[in-house]
Amino acid sequence: MTPSNPLPPPTPPALAAAGVCLIEALLLVVTAALYGLELADGRAADANTASMSLVVCLIFAILLAVLAAAWHKGARWPRTPTLVWNVLLLPAAWTLTTTNGIWVGLTLAVVAVAGILASLLAPSADLPDRTL
């Protein structure tokens, strides 16, 4: 049985937004794994903080994976959550430049700006499609 209102194929900006969301999700999984290693080795300064950071990273990784899948399927609803997430990454990138070094913060800022641009260029659910 075919759906009565199938989703349109994803546009190149939507696929780019899906890629950025997937990269961010994978980076959060790696971060969660690092927190897990700290907990397992006993290197975590505060086990409660490390545990909660691990859980938060995994929750946001799952949410970003859902956004990536929705973008890849051609859905238009992930535009706003993708924009909000990537705008919120910009202050985090600034903080990382002052604490972990310029290259770490700059890398995160580039990924965030790429996510912002890709989601802004992708079609929106509430805006009419642009025709060339």
pLDDT tens digits along 75-121: 989 999 999 999 999 999 999 888 888 998 899 999 999 999 999 99
Q: Per the structure block, which two tokens stand in for 129?
A: 């499609």
Helices and strands (H and E) in the chain: how many? 4, 0
Computed from CA positions of residues 91, 94, 100, 102, in that sequence, does the dihedral angle turn out positive or negative? positive
Of 18-22, 69-73, 119-123, least confident by mean pLDDT is: 119-123
- Percent of the chain clearing pLDDT 70 (strictly above): 90
Is 40 in a helix, a strand, or coil?
helix
* pLDDT level of residue 132 (50, 70, 90 thresholds): very low
Looking at per-residue confidence, does 51 or 129 come out higher?
A: 51
Looking at per-residue confidence, does 62 or 3 come out higher?
A: 62
Residue 43 has pLDDT above 50, yes or no: yes
Q: Who contacts 112 (Cβ-Cβ below 8 Å, separation ≥6)?
A: 86, 87, 89, 90, 93
Q: What is the pTM of this model?
A: 0.83
Distance of alpha carbon 41 from alpha carbon 27, whole angstroms: 21
Is 100 in a helix, a strand, or coil?
coil
Looking at per-residue confidence, does 128 or 32 come out higher?
A: 32
Q: Who contacts 130 (Cβ-Cβ below 8 Å, separation ≥6)?
A: 123
Q: Is 101 left (phi over 0), alpha (psi -120 to 50) or beta?
A: left
The single-letter DSSP state of residue 74 is T
Specify the amino acid at residue 82.
T
**Backbone torsions φ then ψ of 46, nearest 5 degrees:** -135, 110
